[in-house]
Amino acid sequence: MEGAALFRFILQASVALALAAIASLLLLFVRRLVIMRIDRANAERRRELEEMVYGALEDPAALTSGRLGARDQRLLLAVVSEMLRGVDGEMRDQLKAILALHIDLDRLMGDLRNAIPADRAKIAFRLFWSDSPAVHDALRAALDDSEPEVVLAAANALLATGQSISLLALVPKLESRSMLGNRAVRDLFRRLAPDNASALFTFLDDPNPAVVVLAIDALARAPSSPALRRLRAAAQTHLAVDVRAAAIRSLGLAQDQQAAGVITAALSDPAWEVRAQAAIAAGRIGDAGALSQLKKRVGDANWWVRLRAAQALAKLGAEGIAALEALAGDEQLNQLVDFVLSERGA
Amino acid sequence: MSGARILVADDDEVLRRLVTHVLTREGYQVVAAGNGEEVLQHVMARRPDAIILDAMMPGIDGLEVLHALRQGETTKDIPVIMLSARSQERDVVRGFDFGANDYLGKPFKPGELLVRLKRLIGADSTPDRDGAA
Amino acid sequence: MNLTLLHDLAFDIGIVIAVTVGWLIFVNGVLLNALYSLQLVLAWRALRRRRAARTPLSAWWRFSEQTVPISLLAPAYNEEATIVDSVRSMLALNYPFFEVVVINDGSRDGTLAALIEGFGLAPVKRAFQEHLAHKPIIATYGSARFPRLIVIDKPNGGKADALNAGIDVAGSPLVCAMDADSLLESDSLPRAVQPFIEDFDNVVACGGSIRVVNGSDVRHGRVTRIGMPHDLLSLFQIVEYLRAFLIGRLAWSEMGAMMLISGAFGIFKRQVMLEVGGYTLNTVGEDMEIIVKIHRHLAETGRHGEMRFVPEPVCWTEAPRTLKGLAGQRRRWQRGSLETFFRHRAIMGRGEYGLPGTVGYIHVLITDVIGPPLEALGYIFMPLLYVVGILNLDFFMAYLALTFVFGVGISVGSLALEEIEMRRYPKPSYLLVLMLAAILENFGYRQLNTLWRIQGWWQYVRGHTDWATAARVGFGTKPKRP
C-alpha cells in the first residue's frame, strides 16, 4: 500500500546494518588472528635471539655466525637495545660489539627514512647507543620527519648519544606539529637546557605561550639569578595565564626568597590558575608575609585555590596553623580545613 | 656449588633477566620477582641472603617493600641493594632513609654490582666460583 | 438492520484501534532503533576523539604534582568470605591520595570480625559532622598498619543508608560510591578522576565502564585473566553490559544527559552529595535516583554541573548465573527506574532542567516506562493482526526486522567498537563467541527480559509500600546495572 516503500526500506536497512556489523566483526576477528600469529612468531624468535645474545656474552667466540635476515635484525636490535638501557660498563661494549657484527646499519638508516611511521619511530628510539657519525647524521635528518613521534624519538636518541641539539632549530619543528603540550617535549627541554641556556632566554620572548612555558620550566631546573629575574618579570607582566602560572610555580620550586613580593601579589591574580600556583609557591618558600593574603584565599571562589591556600597555611608554622584552626569554625570551610590539617598530621 | 640466594625484583623483564644472568654467572642462586607482592611472598617462603630491589614497580613499589621488610622481625636484617632508574641525589637519600644498604642507578655496571653485593653479604657466604665461567 | 450497522461500526472502531496500536508499537520500535543508532555514532565519535587526545595538553601543567584526594566508600553486608581480599585490593590501587571507608551495614555474619582480624583494627575517634540521614554509627575503627583504612560499624539500614554514613565520615573532596565486591581495575581512580582534574569547577560526578567478570579468573580481589563463561546467561549479560556502557552510557554523556551512574562505581563531589541530602533512603534504585536528584538540584539552584563518563573499564562485577537471580535483579532495576521516573516526573520535558529533563527523561520514558509493555504487546498483537489480515506482509516484515534484526546490528556493532578501541579480550575466538551471543540474545533472552520488566512494572503498580522495606535486607548482589 502507501507505506510499502517505507516498510521495505526499514526491512532492508535493518538487514544491511546487521550484516555489515557481522561482516566487520568477522574482519576484525581475522585481523586479530593474523596479528596474533605474527606476534607469537616474533616473540618466539625474539627469545631465541635473546638466548643467542646471552650465549655470546658468555663466550665471545660464539659471535662469528653470519648476517641475520631483515626481521631477525629488527628483533635483535629490539632485544639488545633494551638491554643497553639497563646495563653499563664492560657488558655494554660487548653488547655493542654484538650489534655491530649482526646489524646492517645502512639498511637500518634507510628504514629510518622509508619505513611506516610507527617503525621509523621505533628505529630512531633504538639507535641511542650508536657511536657512528653516519647514524648521528641519520638521526639528525629524522628531526625533519613529518611524524611527531619520530622527531621526538630521534631527538631523545641523539641526546643519549651525547650529541648536542639546537633547541632553536628544534622548536619550530615541534611547534608546527603541535606537540608542545606533550610531556615528552617538556622532558626533552629539561634535558637540553644545559646546552641551550641562551636559546631558553630567547624563548622567554616567544609569541607562543606554550614555548615560553617550556622555557620557564627548563630554566627553573637550574636557576641562575638572571633567569630568576626574568621569571619574576614574567610572573608579573606576561599576558598569558599559563605563563604567569608556570613562572610562579618555578619561582616557588627554586625557593626564590626575592620573589616573595611577586608571589604575594600573584595571590590576587585574576586567573585562578595563577592564584593556585601562587598559594603553593608561598607555602614552598615559607613566606610569613603572605599570611594575611593566604587567609583571604582560603575563601577564594575557586576550589583549587582554597585547597592550595589552606595547604600553604599549614606549612607556615604555628601562625599558619592557628589561622587555619580559626577558619575551621566556618561551616563552608571546615571540611577543607579538617582535610588539610589531617593531611599535615599524616 | 651452593651460592648465596639472591632475590632479584624488577618489573622490567629484560632487566630482571640481565641481573639474573650477571649473578648466576658468578655462582649465586637467583630467585626473580616481578612485583612487590611477589617479593614479600618469596621472602616469607624462604629468607634470601640479599635482595636486589627495583625502586619503581607497579602496585607495592620498591620503597614500600623495603619499609615492610625493615618492620618485620625476621626480615629487617636482609641486605638490600636498590637498583633504580631514579638516581638523583634526593632519590638516593630517600632510598637510604628507607633502610637500603646500597643504592645503584640504572644503567648499572655489572662488575660494580657484584663487588657491592659481595661486600654486603660477607666472606662466609661468598659464592663458590668454580662452577662459573 | 440497526444492529448490523452498530456491529459494523464497532468492527470499524475495533480495526481503527488495532491499526493505531499496531502503528504505536511500530513507531516506538523505529524511535528506539533510531536512538540506538544515534548512540552508536556518538559513541564512536567520542572514542575516536579520546584516541586523538591521548596526550592531553595543559592538564599536567596545572596539576602535575597534584591529584584530588578521594574517599572510597565500600558498604559491606554479609561479606565475611571476601571482604578482606576486596579491601586489600582497594588499598593497593594506583593513586597517590585516597582513603578506604568500609561501612559494615549491620552484617549478621563475621564481616566486622574478619576486618578487625585481617587489618589489625582498633577503635579510633574520628571527628565528623552528621549531615545526612542514616542509622547511628556504633563505632569507628582504624589501623596503625593501614593508615588509609577506616571501618565504620552501624546497624543495618541498606545501601543508601550505609553510603550516607560513609559520605558523612569521608574526609576527601571526592567520594567514590561502590560495592564492597566490585573488582576494581588498578588504574580505575586515575582514569575516572581525569574529568575532575580537567574541569573541577563544572564536573560533579563521573562513572566508568563496568564489565561482567563471569568466566574470568580472580585472585585477591583482582581480575587476573580475562576469559569467557560457559553458560549462555553470563554471555548474554557480557554483551548487554558492553553495549550498555560502551554505547549507551557514553552516548548519554556525549549528549550531556547522563541519567545513571552505576552503583558499582561512581565518583562524586562530596559537597554536592551533602547539598542534595545524600542518597534517598528506602529506594530500590538509589544509584539512578541520586543522579536525577543531583541534576534537579543543580537546575533548581541555577548552577551548571556536568556528569561525565570514561569508557575505559573501571571495575568488574559478578552477574547472576541463574534465571531466578537474574529475574529478581531485572525486576528490581525496573522498579528502580519507574520509582525514579515518577518521583521526579515534574522535571520531564521542562526546558529549565536542561538536557536531563528533556532528552534524558524521554529516553527513560521510551526505554524503561512504556518500552517494555509496548514490546510485549507487539509480540502478541502484531502476529495476530497479520494473521487476521489487518496488517499487510510488508508492515509485518518491517516490524520483525526492527524487533529482531536491527538489534543484532547494534549489539555486534558495539562488539566491533570494543575490538577497535579497547581490545580487552585476549583471544580472537572470544569475538566470535560474543557475536553468537549477540545474535542469539534476540531470540528468547530479550523476550525474557521484557517479561521480567513487566513483572517489575506490576510489582511497582501493586505496592509502593510493602516491597520497599522487605527488599532492604542486603545488597551484595544488588544493582550494578548496565
Q: Is the Cβ–Cβ distance between C480 and C264 less than 8 Å?
A: yes
Chain A 78-107, CB below 8 Å of chain B: which residues? Answer: 79, 82-92
Query: Best of A46, A54, A57, A87 to disrupt the B interface by mutation (most B CBs within 10 Å)?
Result: A87
Q: Do B133 and A83 touch (CB under 8 A)?
A: no
- pLDDT for residue C437 is more than 60: yes
C-alpha cell at A98: 654484538
Average pLDDT over residues C51-80: 63
Helix, strand, coil percentages in chain C from 3-state DSSP, rounded to 5: 55, 15, 30
- pLDDT for residue C65 is more than 70: no
Answer with the residue of higher pLDDT: B45 or C62. B45
Q: Strand runs (DSSP E) across C43-181, as ranges?
A: 70-76, 98-105, 122-123, 139-142, 149-154, 174-178
Question: How many CA atoms lie less than 13 Å away from A100 in the CB half-sphere?
Answer: 10
Domain positions in chain B are 5-121
Prior bond of B107 cis (ω within 30°): yes
Q: What is the predicted pLDDT for the residue at A253?
A: 86
pLDDT band at residue C479 using 50, 70 and 90 as cut-offs: very low
B12 touches chain A (CB under 8 A): yes
**Rg of chain B on CA atoms, in Å:** 14
Q: ∠A42-A46-A51 over CA atoms, to 5°?
A: 155
Q: Strand runs (DSSP E) across C249-300, as ranges?
A: 265-269
Average pLDDT over residues C209-230: 87
Chain A 50-79, CB below 8 Å of chain C: which residues? Answer: none
Query: What gap in Å lies between CA C288 and CA C159, rounded to an integer?
Result: 13
Q: What are phi and psi of C53, to 5 degrees?
A: -100, 35
Q: What is the predicted pLDDT for the residue at C1?
A: 55
Q: How far is B111 from chain A (nearest CA, A)?
A: 8
| Global confidence as pTM | 0.75
The full set of domains in chain A, from first to last, is 223-346 (1.25.10.10)
Query: What gap in Å lies between CA C403 and CA C146, rounded to an integer?
Result: 54
Q: What is the predicted pLDDT for the residue at C52?
A: 46
Q: State the DSSP string of A208-237.
A: SHHHHHHHHHHHHHS--HHHHHHHHHHHHH
B18 CB neighbours in chain A (<8 A) are: 83, 86-87
Q: Which residues pair with C209 in a beta bridge?
A: C313
C-alpha cell at B88: 638523583
Alpha helices for C120-269 (secondary structure H) = 159-169, 188-198, 232-242, 250-255
C-alpha cell at A253: 620550586
Q: Do C392 and A1 touch (CB under 8 A)?
A: yes
Count how many pairs of residues, chain B against chain C, have C-beta atoms within 8 Å.
Answer: 6
Q: What is the predicted pLDDT for the residue at B81?
A: 92
Q: Do C92 and B58 touch (CB under 8 A)?
A: no
pLDDT digits (tens, 9 = 90+) for C31-58: 888 888 988 899 888 888 765 444 333 3
- Positive or negative: CA dihedral C97, A252, A219, A235: positive
Query: What gap in Å lies between CA C131 and CA C274, rounded to an integer?
Result: 7
- Can you tell me whether residue C273 is helix, strand or coil? helix
Q: Is the Cβ–Cβ distance between A19 and C408 less than 8 Å?
A: no
Q: Do C428 and A36 touch (CB under 8 A)?
A: yes
pLDDT band at residue C127 using 50, 70 and 90 as cut-offs: low
C473 touches chain B (CB under 8 A): no
Average pLDDT over residues C301-330: 88
For B72: left if phi > 0, alpha if psi spans -120 to 50, otherwise beta; the answer is beta
- Positive or negative: CA dihedral A146, A152, A155, A158: negative
Closest CA to A110 of A69, A64, A142, A154: A142
Q: Is the Cβ–Cβ distance between A112 and A134 less than 8 Å?
A: no
Q: Is the Cβ–Cβ distance between C372 and C334 less than 8 Å?
A: yes
Q: What is the predicted pLDDT for the residue at C466?
A: 45
Average pLDDT over residues C169-197: 85
The full set of domains in chain C, from first to last, is 64-336 (3.90.550.10)
C197 touches chain A (CB under 8 A): no
Stretch among A172-181, B2-11, B90-99, B108-117 having the lowest mean pLDDT? A172-181
Q: Is the Cβ–Cβ distance between C225 and C217 less than 8 Å?
A: yes
Query: What gap in Å lies between CA C423 and CA C418, rounded to an integer?
Result: 6
C92 CB neighbours in chain B (<8 A) are: 59-60
Chain A 176-215, CB below 8 Å of chain C: which residues? Answer: 181-183, 213
- pLDDT for residue B129 is more than 70: no
Q: Is the Cβ–Cβ distance between B99 and B67 less than 8 Å?
A: yes
Query: What gap in Å lies between CA C112 and CA A296, rounded to an integer?
Result: 44
Chain A 240-269, CB below 8 Å of chain C: which residues? Answer: 242, 245-246
Query: What gap in Å lies between CA A318 and CA A288, rounded to an integer?
Result: 11
pLDDT digits (tens, 9 = 90+) for C189-216: 888 888 887 777 788 999 989 999 998 9
pLDDT digits (tens, 9 = 90+) for B19-37: 999 999 888 999 998 888 7
- Specify the CATH number of the domain B5-121: 3.40.50.2300
C-alpha cell at C84: 578482606
Name the helix (H) or strand (E) containing B80.
strand B80-84
C186 touches chain B (CB under 8 A): yes
Distance of CA A255 to the CA centre of its chain: 24
Instruction: Please report, for residues A321, C39, C78, C427, the alpha-carbon distance to residue C473 in angstroms, rounded to integers and kept in the order given.
Output: 46, 36, 10, 40
Chain B 53-112, CB below 8 Å of chain C: which residues? Answer: 58-60
Q: What are phi and psi of C458, to 5 degrees?
A: -60, -45
A61 touches chain B (CB under 8 A): no
C-alpha cell at C293: 536528584
C-alpha cell at A158: 641523539
- Tell me the average pLDDT of chain C: 84
B119 touches chain A (CB under 8 A): no
Please give the ipTM for the structure prediction: 0.82
B46 CB-near residues (< 8 Å, 6+ apart): B5
C94 CB neighbours in chain B (<8 A) are: 58-59
- Can you tell me whether residue A282 is helix, strand or coil? helix
Q: What is the predicted pLDDT for the residue at A150?
A: 84
A13 CB-near residues (< 8 Å, 6+ apart): none
CA torsion angle B105 B111 B114 B118 (round to 10): -120
Q: How far is B15 from chain A (nearest CA, A)?
A: 6
pLDDT band at residue C435 using 50, 70 and 90 as cut-offs: very high
C379 touches chain A (CB under 8 A): no
Query: What gap in Å lies between CA C415 and CA C48, rounded to an integer?
Result: 15
Nearest residue in chain B measured CA to CA from C186 = B59
Q: What is the predicted pLDDT for the residue at A1?
A: 47
Q: Strand runs (DSSP E) across chain A, as ranges?
A: none
Q: What is the pLDDT along chain A (346 residues), one digit of tens a residue?
A: 457 888 889 899 999 999 999 999 999 999 999 999 999 999 999 998 888 888 888 877 665 566 678 888 888 899 999 899 888 888 888 888 888 888 888 888 888 888 888 788 888 888 888 888 888 888 888 888 877 778 888 888 888 887 777 777 778 777 766 666 666 777 788 888 877 788 888 888 888 888 888 888 888 877 788 888 888 888 888 888 888 988 998 899 888 888 889 999 999 998 888 898 899 999 988 888 888 888 888 888 776 788 788 888 888 888 888 888 887 777 667 666 766 776 555 4
B83 CB-near residues (< 8 Å, 6+ apart): B10, B19, B52, B53, B54, B55, B104, B106, B108, B113
Question: How many CA atoms lie less than 13 Å away from A221 in the CB half-sphere?
Answer: 18
Residue where the block lists cell 563475621: C110
C-alpha cell at C262: 552505576
Instruction: Please report, for residues A134, A266, C57, C59, the alpha-carbon distance to residue A239 in angstroms, rounded to integers and kept in the order given.
Output: 45, 13, 19, 19
Q: What is the predicted pLDDT for the residue at C477?
A: 42
Nearest residue in chain C measured CA to CA from B57 = C94
C80 CB-near residues (< 8 Å, 6+ apart): C107, C109, C110, C111, C113, C114
Pairing of strands C265-269, C174-178: antiparallel
Query: What gap in Å lies between CA C115 and CA C149, rounded to an integer?
Result: 10
- pLDDT for residue C251 is more than 60: yes
C-alpha cell at C8: 459494523
Chains that touch B (3 or more CB pairs under 8 A): A, C
pLDDT digits (tens, 9 = 90+) for B61-99: 788 788 888 887 888 888 999 998 877 788 888 888 888
A221-247 core/surface letters (b: 16 or more CB in 10 A; e: else):
eebeeebbebbbebbbebebbbbbbbb
Note the maximum CA span of chain C.
95
Answer with the residue of higher pLDDT: A291 or C94. A291
Q: What is the predicted pLDDT for the residue at A221?
A: 79
DSSP class of residue A87? B
Q: What is the predicted pLDDT for the residue at A86?
A: 87
